Structure 1
């Protein structure tokens, strides 16, 4: 057992000194931050682009519905034909033309109106135009029934359900979705790390096996110690790389935002909070209060605890899957032969992401979410997706958290035992493609 630290050190140094590892360690943050800055810059340009829409209104209606805003300007055409309006709109490079014909009533005007454009118009633009016309139609219909403009304005006011906990704390709509996204990001990181660094372990075993170096190594080292050394050494290299990515990525992002004068808010533009969806007239005071509540709830998410449990679940999950990857690498002669074994390994990870999102998104403490957060092959991902709701009352029960970790530890011991038996036999097998039946025979070999 005293040779295990030497093996860990050898594997760690072999990984961190590898040229491709060094290049990707420093190139990946540049690529990721560059992509984020590019998206933010293009989003900012898109938000600053003003659309100009011309309006040819031949009717006696819709005279006040199309009001110029920050994103859209309206230019009214008068005393010209539709053909002239089309030509003028196209030659001036406007976004499109709204045509409202002269009809006897507002219903016919709305039915026979058109929007002309060079290309297929944005659904956002169409929705805004349709909402304006729909609102005017509704107002006209209700006024014909004797409703005054004041009564219509009162009736058209949107309604928002008040939400509170049983303890009397004010709650907000859409918070579950935000928490699920935060937890999902942590879970997705674990999945990517397991796939990437588990693959490193497998390829390392295959390289040593095919080069016959392994025959020399195991003459002085037990196969089990060699397998564990590879797993632990590679995991330490992965944690080192991840730490460098986090620090350098944060610095590069901060510097990039400052240099290119990009508003950090543009990183999250394009989406609106659920409580604002469908609202045409936003109450600024209510919006400010909602934003304060969102900020307060987000700050109450146990980020520090999530980071601690991220490390715990990453280590345990990685040890389980890396043991499987090491066994696969020992069983085959080249990377092509691994395909029949890789998919069953990746399937639980994919299942954890998709099922976790759907179940946690709607009910973080429901039976599906609980079951997948306890099942050892999916718990590292699903449990992290549940942690934004907290630990204890209202969040993940402590017994579930402890049970999940204990089950992971027990599963790791069992899988290492199985993987070690496959590794011990397969590491010296050459020239034969193993099947699942063959692997089962290896498990029955005595020590």
Structure 2
């Protein structure tokens, strides 16, 4: 037991004192916050860009319909010839030229409109132009058939489905997206932590094996103790790094939003004053209520439990691989069994859990130890029975015991093997020693 404690201390101190570890611990939050600030700033610049679009309207019907907005300015070139309009757009480097030809029927006109531009135009701008033309032609078709536009507009039915459970509690339409965000973020971060800190364990084993230090250590320490010490020591260093990241990231994000005036942008580009109108207020309130109703405490506790479980499960595999090879290059052939279940968990989470969090696929993969740390975290925001979580955790930690025993047998033989690239067949033989 004393040997295990000494190994844990040694691994922890070695990781913490490592120059790369120190630099990335304090540099990563700066990079993360800087990326958020840069993306926000670039999005602001993109929103502030005003695009000048010329239009050549042979019909004369749409001259008053193209109205300037914050992002688009329309210029009427209908008094020029089409070729002169094209030349003028190129010389003045305008965004593009909209050509509306004169046709016999509105149906022919609708399929004949053209947009000239050197670069592919923004899809939202094209959709806006199409809506303007379509609305005009539709109204004209109604008038030709003798229909009253005011009567038609007043007759339009606007349906807003309210969601309510059988207990009488109302919920937002966006509640599934909120649950998907929280669960997806937790699952994705867990996957990244497992890969990052698992690789630390593997590199540590490879480094000691390459320097032949392992031969001296193994003379006084059991291989299983050495492997567990590396896993635990690296995990404590990883937890310390993660806590520093959270603390520094929160402080830097607060400073960035305060000093540089970075404000959250609505994803649809809707002005906040419009979004807070009476017809949106109830939806926003319901959305906030749904966020507060999320089992955030359970999610945080589950994240910690599954982080520990997932880390130990995969780190034992990383340690076994590190002991089996002589360099990181040789380890690439064994990476697929590690990466594949993690990626499968992410894909199952986003494509199955979101659509049917309590379905067969979601439930099964939340029980399989190699994918449960990710899939179960993504299911928890949708509400999972406590016994399902308990079974998942028991299976996970039961698999850890088996995997540590299995990895220990490979580790015991592999750390003293040099000069030979092991195959899966060779690893199977080591299990019998």
Q: Secondary structure at the match of 2:147?
A: coil
1:296 corresponds to 2:289: yes
- 1:92 Cα deviation from its structure 2 partner: 4.0
Q: Secondary structure at the match of 1:59?
A: coil
Aligned equivalent of 2:373: 380
Is the Cα contact below 8 Å between 1:194 and 1:321 reproduced in 2? Answer: yes
Is the Cα contact below 8 Å between 2:174 and 2:287 reproduced in 1? Answer: no
Unaligned residue ranges in structure 2 (runs of 5+): none
Aligned equivalent of 1:434: 422
1:215 corresponds to 2:192: no
Question: Residues 107-164 of structure 1, C-alpha deviation per residue, up to 9 Å, x if partnerless?
Answer: 3443333223342211111111112212222223333333211232135554333322
Aligned equivalent of 2:119: 119
C-alpha separation between the residues in 2 aligned to 1:271 and 1:316? 42
1:246 corresponds to 2:259: no
Question: Residues 234-254 of structure 1, C-alpha deviation per residue, up to 9 Å, x if partnerless?
Answer: 011111111111111121122
Is the Cα contact below 8 Å between 1:373 and 1:380 reproduced in 2? Answer: yes
Is the Cα contact below 8 Å between 1:59 and 1:109 reproduced in 2? Answer: no
TM-score w.r.t. length of structure 1: 0.90
Aligned equivalent of 2:313: 320
Aligned equivalent of 2:37: 37
- 1:270 Cα deviation from its structure 2 partner: 5.7
Moved more, 62-71 or 429-438: 62-71
C-alpha separation between the residues in 2 aligned to 1:91 and 1:332? 64
Is the Cα contact below 8 Å between 1:327 and 1:420 reproduced in 2? Answer: yes
- 1:444 Cα deviation from its structure 2 partner: 1.9
Aligned equivalent of 1:349: 342
- 1:282 Cα deviation from its structure 2 partner: 8.4
Aligned equivalent of 1:2: 2
C-alpha separation between the residues in 2 aligned to 1:270 and 1:428? 60
1:269 corresponds to 2:267: yes
- 1:78 Cα deviation from its structure 2 partner: 5.1
Unaligned residue ranges in structure 1 (runs of 5+): 273-280, 390-394
Aligned equivalent of 1:425: 413
Q: Secondary structure at the match of 1:55?
A: strand
Of 398, 406, 416, 2:394 maps to: 406
C-alpha separation between the residues in 2 aligned to 1:162 and 1:256? 38
Is the Cα contact below 8 Å between 2:275 and 2:281 reproduced in 1? Answer: no
- 1:283 Cα deviation from its structure 2 partner: 9.5
**What is the aligned residue count?**
430
Is the Cα contact below 8 Å between 2:303 and 2:377 reproduced in 1? Answer: yes
C-alpha separation between the residues in 1 aligned to 2:39 and 2:58? 42
1:48 corresponds to 2:48: yes
Question: Residues 79-102 of structure 1, C-alpha deviation per residue, up to 9 Å, x if partnerless?
Answer: 333333334444444322323334
TM-score w.r.t. length of structure 2: 0.93
Moved more, 354-363 or 173-182: 173-182
Aligned equivalent of 1:275: none
Tell me how large the CA RMSD over aligned residues is. Answer: 2.2
Q: Are the structure 2 counterparts of residues 101 and 442 from structure 1 closer, same or farther at C-alpha, using a change threshold of 3 Å?
A: closer
Aligned equivalent of 1:198: 198
C-alpha separation between the residues in 1 aligned to 2:418 and 2:93? 69
C-alpha separation between the residues in 2 aligned to 1:103 and 1:444? 83
- 1:341 Cα deviation from its structure 2 partner: 1.3
- 1:77 Cα deviation from its structure 2 partner: 4.0
Aligned equivalent of 1:340: 333
